[in-house]
Amino acid sequence: MSQVGAGSAAHALLPVPSDPNRVGHDWLDTLSEVPLFEGLSKRHLGRIAKLARIRRFASGSVIVRTGDPGRSFYVLLDGSAKVMRPGRRSLRLGAGAFFGEMALIDDSPRSADVVAEGDALALTIDRAGFAKLLRAEPGLAQALLRTLAARLRAAEAAV
């Protein structure tokens, strides 16, 4: 299995907020460590937090399923997940990596299963919030495109 994004050692997961729909200011330091959000000010991170929920996924749960419509975008905050594509090698995504963007960008079905490897914690943003974020944060859109280009190169090199 190859690795995409930073790995994370086995440790207790970050705690889920009591109301997962309220991602408060205490999360901003965690969000500032996500490569996708690099360079964003606390004010901008606060805007992202307003659009986001924090969700915990039990080990082995299928976070997104191949063929399903895309409803949310995910950023792994803790733990790791496996991207499982039919007939392809699986890939590991570590803390800080994102997934679920493809179905939202091109309005097509999910291209792969993404499965929690051990318990995992993710920030999720719904379709409307994701579109809003891409419009409002060109730096973030650029960072997302850079990662997509790197993933495309890696996928081509693996053929």
Does 91 bind ligand CMP (CB under 6 A)? Our answer is: yes
Q: Whole-angstrom Cα distance, residue 125 to residue 49? A: 9
Q: Where are the alpha helices (DSSP H) in 93-137?
A: 101-106, 127-136
**CB of residue 158 to ligand CMP, shortest distance in Å:** 8
Residues in the chain: 159
- CB closer to ligand CMP out of 70 and 96: 70
Q: How far is the CB of 138 from ligand CMP (least distance, A)?
A: 20
- In the set 44, 53, 56, 110, which binds ligand CMP (CB under 6 A)? 110
Which residue's CB is nearer to ligand CMP, number 46 or number 62? 62
Angle in degrees, CA 14, 129, 86, rounded to 5: 75
Place of tokens 């960008």: 105
Token pair 């495109």: residue: 145
Tell me the window of 21-29, 35-43, 49-57, 94-102 that interacts with ligand CMP (CB under 6 A): 94-102
Contact with ligand CMP (CB under 6 A) among 36, 40, 57, 101:
101
- Chain Cα centroid distance, residue 96: 7
Q: Which is nearer to ligand CMP, 55 or 151 (CB)?
A: 151
Binding-site size, ligand CMP (CB under 6 A): 17
3-state helix, strand, coil in the chain (%, to 5): 35, 30, 35
Figure out which of the listed residues 34, 51, 64, 140 binds ligand CMP, where binding follows CB under 6 A. Answer: 64
Reported as type and span, the H/E element at residue 64 is strand 62-64
Which residues of this chain interact with ligand CMP, rule CB under 6 A? 4, 64, 70, 83, 85, 91, 99-103, 110-112, 114, 151, 155
